[in-house]
A and B are shown apart, each in its own frame.
Chain A
Amino acid sequence: MIAAALLALGLGAGVDACAPVDPAPRPDAAAAAEYRAVGEGERRAGVKDAAAAAYRSALALDPGDAAARSALSALCVEQRSASAFERGVRLMDAGHRAGAIEAFEEARAGGEDPSAALLEGICLYEEGDDGRARPLLLAADRDVGTRDSARFFLGLIALREGRSREAAALLEASAADRHLGPLALGLARDARRDGRLVLSMLLEGGYDSNVDLTPDGTRGAANTGDEALGATAVVRATPFGASGPYARLTGDLRQQAQYTPLDLLGGGIAGGWQAGHGGRFVLAEYGYEYRAMGGAPYLSAQRVVAGGRLALVPSGALSAGAVWSARWERFLAAVDAGYSGLRQVAEADLALEPTRRLTARVAWHVGRDAADDPALAWWETGPRAAVRFEVTRDLRLGCEAAWWRRTYDAVDPSLGVRRADDLLDISALLEWDVAAEWTIRASLLGRRAFSNVAAFEYTKVVPMIGLAYTVGLL
């Protein structure tokens, strides 16, 4: 019979500590003492429902048991807090974070409650209120049962604030939880590559089937392919974390195997301010870049960028973003001078992140190049779609496709026509983290250009493979 009883499945019913206690038909003070002792033990062990049941039995057998009555009364207060906690969980599950925070506060008013502190801290973190979230998560960290989850979210806050080493340590400490583990270890790796000062370097080599393109991407005279080696270094500083001012220094070098007039050496500096982070932020940036090609000055450009992103659902799984940039380009070689002018690009997108491993994005793009030579000035517009998938913690795949229709302003005097081009770009990227700070990158970029001038139609294929090193220095 007992074995059959133990096979029963399902959740147990709760014991109402606040309900009136009916006296037993035969009082029994000795039996009441046994129940009270069990109640005290269960209360110490934190099994409150069992403690309430035991005290209720003690009081039924001995209504004069003051100790049992007092303990049951205290459990009644705690149970009301627990009810607030359950309400908070329901509101949190439904995405009503403000109501959930209020309910968890009510639950904590009944006494120390690490679970309520944890969930309220998570809600506040998701609301972006890290200042209020941190002390609650630290309180949850003091309890063994909530410690892993608390450290996970403390790690996320540290990550958001740019304290990358602390973030990595917290995330790794939370990884023993088998549910959090895979995500925590991935984020810990990201944290080691993040921080208030980050250095990234990429060395790559590959082949470009059509290396000689003009500044606006038009097919050049040589129409030749060539191998190339490239190196890029970026230093990024975010002294106050993701939200706040930032600066970026970039240097890049490209050496062609044969077509050395296209060897490139460039650098840039940018500074800006981002307010907010994750699924809700705006940013503004100013930058300058300079490039030399084939050893001669080639481009001097100033750029401003403004953008932002807004989560459309509380989970952040769907968000909308917009970015606009304007670049004042001055091509320094006489042959390219006509391309100088103001180039602007605006793009609005919807991003869907159904799981942390998959991101899909669709965007609409509008571009305007007000080149000094009207025959080289254009408008372009079209869609862009991208998917990124984390196959494993160390392997990511991405692909992107875009179709842009470009219409030039004026008839080209040398051609006798006003050009209209369509550009189809397709790219794929594979990233494989081979060590904590090292990643192998393989990419394939393809472009097919269509034009009403047959001579400007071309195909470009660029397979590249490279090794990237990224480390958080501070």
Chain B
Amino acid sequence: MIVSAGPAGAGEHVLAGARLFRAERYAEALVEFRVAERLGSAQARGYVGATLVKLDRPEQAVEAFEAPGAPAPGDDALLDYYHALACHEARLYLRADRLLETIGARAGPRIGELARQVRADIAAALASPPSRAAIDWYLARCDDNAAGHAALARAQCEEAAALGARRADRYGVAEAHSRAERLKPARAEAR
């Protein structure tokens, strides 16, 4: 599917992307959403994130959802759900849980039930205090991604801080906060 890229074409590319997404042609859908994004579509970035989730690219999806210009959490329950899925698959479990918590009944019964199941999985996975090795892993990923993927790196540092806060010794919390602060915030609200 090829859509003209003329000045008024961003919306057409979004619609073309949505049609391809529904046809489960996610790679092509991503291309259309990306073209729409390049043409200035404000809504396309969220759809890019959702499509990246479908393409099993959760870390890139997190970046898309958290980059400046992406729809803010709370704007669209379905995108919030995909955002949460991206976080979950990128192992940002506490971040995913916070997003899912806000979805509630906004997304309808089907997504609501899926969200409930994912939250139950997260609760089970995080039933016991995290190990130091787990927190170190997030800090290392934060460092690895700091140069080229600031939004993802910041999310990983914030996850490390949130995990550390679940331990009695608050292992890594101060360090994680400090590193997260050094990364330019992708978006300050609702994190």
Residues of chain A at the chain B interface (Cβ within 8 Å) = 1-8, 10-15, 24, 26, 28, 30-31, 34-35, 37-39, 41-42, 45-47, 49-50, 52-54, 57, 60-61, 144, 172-173, 175-178, 181, 185
Q: Report the minimal beta-carbon distance from A82 to chain B, rounded to whole angstroms.
A: 13
- In the complex, the chain B residue whose C-beta lies closest to that of A60 is B2
Contact B21 A6, beta carbon cutoff 8 Å: yes
The CA of A60 and the CA of B141, in the complex, are separated in Å by 40
Contact A12 B141, beta carbon cutoff 8 Å: no
Chain A, interface SS category: helix
Selected interface stretch from B26-34, B95-103, B171-179, B181-189: B26-34
Q: Name the contact of A176 in the complex, choosing from B39, B79, B91 (C-beta under 8 A).
A: B91
Chain B, interface SS category: helix
Q: Report the minimal beta-carbon distance from B143 to chain A, rounded to whole angstroms.
A: 11
How does the 8 Å CB contact mask read for B1-33 relative to A, with 1 for contact and 0 for none?
011111001000011001101111111111100
Contact A38 B34, beta carbon cutoff 8 Å: yes
- In the complex, the chain B residue whose C-beta lies closest to that of A25 is B2
| B138 / chain A contacts, CB cutoff of 8 Å | 176
Contact B2 A34, beta carbon cutoff 8 Å: no
Contact A52 B27, beta carbon cutoff 8 Å: yes
The CA of A178 and the CA of B29, in the complex, are separated in Å by 31
Q: Report the minimal beta-carbon distance from A19 to chain B, rounded to whole angstroms.
A: 13
Contact A38 B27, beta carbon cutoff 8 Å: no
- In the complex, the chain B residue whose C-beta lies closest to that of A38 is B34
Interface membership of B35, Cβ < 8 A: yes
Q: Name the contact of A144 in the complex, choosing from B23, B52, B55, B141 (C-beta under 8 A).
A: B141
Given contacts A6-B78, A175-B134, contact A53 B22 (CB under 8 A): no
Given contacts A34-B39, A176-B138, contact A50 B31 (CB under 8 A): yes
Q: Report the minimal beta-carbon distance from A25 to chain B, rounded to whole angstroms.
A: 9
| A52 / chain B contacts, CB cutoff of 8 Å | 27
Contact A2 B47, beta carbon cutoff 8 Å: yes
Contact B5 A30, beta carbon cutoff 8 Å: yes
Interface membership of B50, Cβ < 8 A: yes
The CA of A38 and the CA of B13, in the complex, are separated in Å by 13
Q: Report the minimal beta-carbon distance from A100 to chain B, rounded to whole angstroms.
A: 22
Contact B24 A11, beta carbon cutoff 8 Å: yes
The CA of A136 and the CA of B4, in the complex, are separated in Å by 45
Contact B31 A54, beta carbon cutoff 8 Å: yes
Residues of chain B at the chain A interface (Cβ within 8 Å) = 2-6, 9, 14-15, 18-19, 21-31, 34-35, 38-39, 47, 50, 52, 54-55, 57, 60, 76, 78-79, 82, 91, 110-111, 125, 131, 133-134, 136-138, 141, 144
Given contacts A2-B14, A28-B4, contact A173 B34 (CB under 8 A): no
Most buried by A among B3, B34, B57, B138: B34
Q: Report the minimal beta-carbon distance from B171 to chain A, rounded to whole angstroms.
A: 14
Contact B24 A10, beta carbon cutoff 8 Å: yes
Most buried by B among A28, A34, A41: A34
Contact A31 B18, beta carbon cutoff 8 Å: no
Given contacts A6-B50, A53-B28, contact A41 B137 (CB under 8 A): no
Q: Report the minimal beta-carbon distance from B104 to chain A, rounded to whole angstroms.
A: 17
Q: How many A-B residue pairs have CB under 8 A?
A: 120
The CA of A24 and the CA of B3, in the complex, are separated in Å by 10
The CA of A374 and the CA of B125, in the complex, are separated in Å by 64
Q: Report the minimal beta-carbon distance from A305 to chain B, rounded to whole angstroms.
A: 39
Contact B27 A50, beta carbon cutoff 8 Å: yes
| B78 / chain A contacts, CB cutoff of 8 Å | 3, 6-7
Q: Name the contact of A37 in the complex, choosing from B6, B38, B136 (C-beta under 8 A).
A: B38
Q: Report the minimal beta-carbon distance from A186 to chain B, rounded to whole angstroms.
A: 13
Given contacts A6-B78, A49-B55, A54-B34, contact A173 B22 (CB under 8 A): no
Given contacts A7-B78, A34-B35, contact A45 B137 (CB under 8 A): no
Q: Report the minimal beta-carbon distance from A14 to chain B, rounded to whole angstroms.
A: 7
| A8 / chain B contacts, CB cutoff of 8 Å | 21-24
Q: Report the minimal beta-carbon distance from B48 to chain A, rounded to whole angstroms.
A: 10
Q: Name the contact of B24 in the complex, choosing from A13, A45, A60 (C-beta under 8 A).
A: A13
- In the complex, the chain B residue whose C-beta lies closest to that of A34 is B5
| B28 / chain A contacts, CB cutoff of 8 Å | 15, 50, 53
Contact B131 A178, beta carbon cutoff 8 Å: no
The CA of A31 and the CA of B10, in the complex, are separated in Å by 11
The CA of A185 and the CA of B21, in the complex, are separated in Å by 40
The CA of A34 and the CA of B134, in the complex, are separated in Å by 41
- In the complex, the chain A residue whose C-beta lies closest to that of B145 is A144
The CA of A30 and the CA of B141, in the complex, are separated in Å by 39
| B24 / chain A contacts, CB cutoff of 8 Å | 8, 10-13
Can you list 6 A-B pairs with a CB-CB distance of less than 8 A?
A: A3-B76, A12-B29, A15-B28, A28-B4, A38-B31, A42-B31
The CA of A286 and the CA of B118, in the complex, are separated in Å by 57
Q: Name the contact of B5 in the complex, choosing from A28, A49, A50, A177 (C-beta under 8 A).
A: A28
Q: Name the contact of B55 in the complex, choosing from A5, A12, A35, A178 (C-beta under 8 A).
A: A12
- In the complex, the chain B residue whose C-beta lies closest to that of A178 is B125
The CA of A9 and the CA of B34, in the complex, are separated in Å by 21
Q: Name the contact of B133 in the complex, choosing from A1, A3, A50, A172 (C-beta under 8 A).
A: A172
- In the complex, the chain A residue whose C-beta lies closest to that of B1 is A57
| A26 / chain B contacts, CB cutoff of 8 Å | 4
Q: Report the minimal beta-carbon distance from A4 to chain B, rounded to whole angstroms.
A: 7
Contact B27 A47, beta carbon cutoff 8 Å: yes
| Seed contacts A1-B18, A28-B5; 14 additional CB < 8 Å A-B pairs | A2-B47, A5-B22, A6-B18, A6-B78, A6-B79, A12-B27, A13-B24, A15-B28, A30-B5, A31-B2, A38-B38, A45-B57, A176-B91, A178-B91
Q: Report the minimal beta-carbon distance from A94 to chain B, rounded to whole angstroms.
A: 23
